[in-house]
Chain A
Amino acid sequence: MARKGLDFVLGVCLAVALATGSASAADKVKFTLNFAADPGHAAYIYAQKQGYYRDAGIDLEIEQGRGSGSTVQLVAAGQTDVGLADAGVIVNLAARGAPVKIIGIIEQLSSWAVIVREDSPIKTPKDLEGRKLGVVPGTAQRALLGAMAGAQGVDVAKIDIVNFDAAASLSMLGEGRVDAVIDVPDIMFPRLKDRGIPVRALYMRDFKVPLVSMSLVVTEKMLQERPDVVRRFVAATLKGIKATMENPAAAVSALLEVYPDAGKRDAALFTVTERAKNNYCAPDSVGLGLPSQKYLDASYEVMTKFMGVSSDKPFSAYFDTAYLPNPPLVCATK
């Protein structure tokens, strides 16, 4: 009897030791978002809540960011391990010498669109000629307008471009001071609905402006020193994306539990559902994190022609696909 009791105690001790050992052996990874947590980040928070990173042996710390440029600089400076940033910004900084690489393209389609009031006569990009269009200087908006105009035969010189601060976007459109703005509908629509302003969107992606967007970025040093951690991180993240595509409401709950100020539930659910439907998988995508080569080439052409990205190197010089799951994680919905 006493022997059995001793065995039990030893067993418990061993189990505790193993559990503690495995917890302390988890690899610490700091992941910096592109901006303050918003519904677009629900998938990462959900992946953490679901324990995907823990199961992959990663002890993850998620840090809010303050813009893609800042996040890429933090990654390059070694202040964080992995960053989430706009692919165009990453490539631009990498082309200028930042020792960073994309390891997965999360949002294969960007959300940018020309947003107009529901009753607006603007039905196609060509209709923007002679109208007032609001853009935020220094952002991708102006470059994307150029790309869309080039693809659709629109004369940008005939558009009355009004520059304003991003925070003024809602008011400018809501009060009719501009006929259209370039912004992200899945964020803007619920806010405009709150103000009682019905709107619709002309998505850039529907007008021959293919553009990859939010991507995971790490340093080349991290790829050399911790390749297995990177591989496990990417796999856990994509698992979170897939889970979010399957259950956006659960992802929103996870987000709002951690960041209650990330937005109102209805608006957040709208954003997450829209992203799940439209952003994570481009047409002919190989899988989550990896668009088709044809789509990548087309996106890179937009970057080099309109976004000031140098075309000296091919896109593959900035994007290392070796850390994506093999076989690829296929797109779940759509």
Chain B
Amino acid sequence: MGSRSASFLPTLSVVVVLSVWEFASRYLGISAHILPAPSVFCRSLVENAPILTRSSLITLQAIGVGFGVGAVAAIPLGFSIGLSPALERSLYYVIVLLNTLPKVALAPLLVVWFGHGLVSKVVLIAIGAFVPVLVDSIAGFKYLDRRLLYVSRSAGASLFQTFLFIRLPAALPHIVSGLKTSLIIAVTVAIVVEYVAATDGLGFVAMRAVTNDDLPLVFATITVGTLIGFGVNAVMSVVEWLLLPWKGA
């Protein structure tokens, strides 16, 4: 009963919200130019399926590459900083700066430097994805139970063996947590940067729909963007389950 209600209640709440929305749009005279009913933007979702699919693939490519670049750069750096207090002190302000940087404001500059297209998006998404993975990687590699190191050293483990069997497994939960956070940030940054400065992708479709006064398409795009968020989160949960089976994710 418990597990059944656990899956039933969220579905019910979504159905209730959509029903109230549909009713309000139809019977309270709310214009489709202000708030289109779910049935209206679902129709737009179907009618615009080809362009939404094509644009989603473009956005997903940018997310994949940008997130990959950010994560690949962050994890080794996190390892180095986690093991070197001097490096941590040296780079502290750089990391804080990167974290507080208003990233979307960089978009027009990146367009001038790299043009419209994948590179500008990837750079911005990578910057957005980099910091959470870095911070969690530092924490993961830094805060290790010292007794584990004593044991491995007394057992004669090499540095590589210590890394592979002690440090990495201990840091993995933190790293995966950082990856999950940064993946959602990557989705948001991708769509926002496409809305603001790109000439393709899901955000660009939303921008075009706004300028064409096509609100159903705007909502259809938001729906697809949300589904992408859910999708990548689900993929990351599978990765987490594979990497950390003991967590039972």
Choose one: B51, B113, B199, B210; the contact of A65 (CB below 8 Å): B199
| Chain B residues with a Cβ closer than 8 Å to the other chain, count | 23
Out of A70, A77, A166, A194, which one reaches B197, CB within 8 Å? Answer: A70
Using A63-B199, A174-B33, A261-B205 as known contacts, say yes or no to A167 and B51 having CB atoms under 8 A apart: no
Convert A59-85 into 0s and 1s, putting 1 for each residue whose CB lies closer than 8 angstroms to a CB of B.
000011110001001100101100000
Kindly identify which residue among A63, A80, A170, A263 contacts B33, using a CB–CB cutoff of 8 Å.
A170
Given the interface pairs A36-B204, A70-B197, A195-B33, the reply to whether A63 lies near B116 with Cβ below 8 Å is yes
Q: Which residues of B contact A261 (CB under 8 A)?
A: 51, 205, 208, 212
Residue B207 CB within 8 A of the other chain: yes
- Asked if A226 is at the interface (CB within 8 A of a chain B CB), the reply is no
Q: What is the 8 Å Cβ interface bit string for chain B, positions 27-54, against chain A (1 contact, 0 not)? A: 0000101100000000000000001000
Q: Cβ of B115: which chain A residues have Cβ within 8 Å of it?
A: 74, 79-80
**CB-defined contacts of B51 to chain A, threshold 8 Å:** 260-261
Complex alpha-carbon distance, A121 and B213, angstroms: 27
B111 an interface residue at 8 Å Cβ cutoff? yes
CA distance A123 to B224 in the complex (A): 45
Interface flag for A124 (CB, 8 Å): no
List B residues 100-116 near A (Cβ within 8 Å). 108, 111-116
Q: Are B208 and A66 neighbours in the complex by a CB distance under 8 Å?
A: no
Q: Does A191 contact B (CB under 8 A)?
A: yes
Q: How far is the CA of A263 from the CA of B108 in the complex (A)?
A: 26
A292: Cβ under 8 A from any B Cβ? no
User: Given A36-B199, A66-B199, A261-B51, A73–B210 Cβ distance below 8 Å?
Assistant: no
A316 within 8 A of B: no
Q: Does A171 contact B (CB under 8 A)?
A: yes
> A194–B216 Cα gap in the complex (Å)?
14
Give CA–CA (A17, B60) in the complex, Å.
Answer: 42
Q: Which residues of A contact B213 (CB under 8 A)?
A: 170, 191, 194
Contact assessment for A70 and B212 in the assembled complex, using a CB-CB cutoff below 8 Å: no
The answer to whether A77 and B113 touch across the interface, beta carbons within 8 angstroms, is yes
- Residues of A within 8 Å of B196, CB to CB, are 66
Could you mark each residue 164-180 of chain A with 1 if its beta carbon is under 8 Å from any beta carbon of chain B, else 0? 00110011001000000
Question: A70 is contacted by which of B31, B111, B204 (Cβ under 8 Å)?
Answer: B111
A residues contacting the other copy or chain, number (CB 8 A): 24
Are A74 and B112 in contact (CB-based, < 8 A)? yes
Q: How far is the CA of A195 from the CA of B208 in the complex (A)?
A: 18
Smallest distance from the beta carbon of B29 to chain A beta carbons, Å? 12
- In the bound complex, CA of A32 to CA of B197 (Å): 14
Q: Are A171 and B113 in contact (CB under 8 A)?
A: no
Q: Which residues of A contact B111 (CB under 8 A)?
A: 66, 70, 73-74
CB under 8 Å from chain B, chain A span 255-287: 260-261, 263
A66 touches B197 (CB 8 A): yes
What chain B residues lie within 8 Å of A80 (beta carbons)? 115
Closest Cβ of chain A: how far from B58's Cβ, in Å?
A: 13
CB-nearest residue of chain A to B200? A64
B149 to chain A, nearest CB (A): 51
Q: How far is the CB of A130 from chain B (nearest CB, A)?
A: 28
Contact A167-B210, Cβ < 8 Å, known A65-B199, A70-B197, A195-B33 = yes
Cα A288 to Cα B190 in complex, Å, equals: 41
Q: Mark B194-236, 1 if CB is under 8 A from A, else 0.
A: 0011110000110110111100000000000000000000000
Q: Which residue of B lies closest to A35 (CB)?
A: B211
Tell me the residues in window 147-187 of chain A with beta carbons closer than 8 Å to chain B beta carbons: 166-167, 170-171, 174
Pick the most buried of B196, B207, B212: most chain A CB atoms within 10 A of its CB.
B212
Which chain B residues border A64 with CB–CB below 8 Å?
116, 199
* In the bound complex, CA of A171 to CA of B51 (Å): 26
Whether the Cβ atoms of B113 and A36 lie closer than 8 Å is no
B202 to chain A, nearest CB (A): 13
In this complex, what residue of A is CB-closest to B55?
A261
* Cα-based distance from A184 to B166 in the complex (angstroms): 66
Q: Which residues of A contact B (CB under 8 A)?
A: 32, 36, 38, 63-66, 70, 73-74, 77, 79-80, 166-167, 170-171, 174, 191, 194-195, 260-261, 263
User: Lowest 4 A-B CB distances belong to which pairs?
Assistant: A64-B199, A79-B115, A73-B112, A167-B210
14 contacts between A and B (CB under 8 A): A32-B116, A36-B204, A65-B199, A66-B116, A70-B111, A70-B197, A73-B112, A74-B115, A74-B116, A167-B210, A167-B211, A191-B212, A194-B213, A261-B51
Given contacts A36-B208, A74-B111, 16 further A-B contacts (CB under 8 A): A32-B116, A36-B207, A64-B199, A65-B116, A66-B196, A74-B112, A74-B115, A77-B113, A80-B115, A167-B211, A170-B33, A191-B212, A194-B213, A195-B31, A261-B205, A263-B212
Listed in ascending order, the chain B residues whose CB lies under 8 Å from chain A are: 31, 33-34, 51, 108, 111-116, 196-199, 204-205, 207-208, 210-213
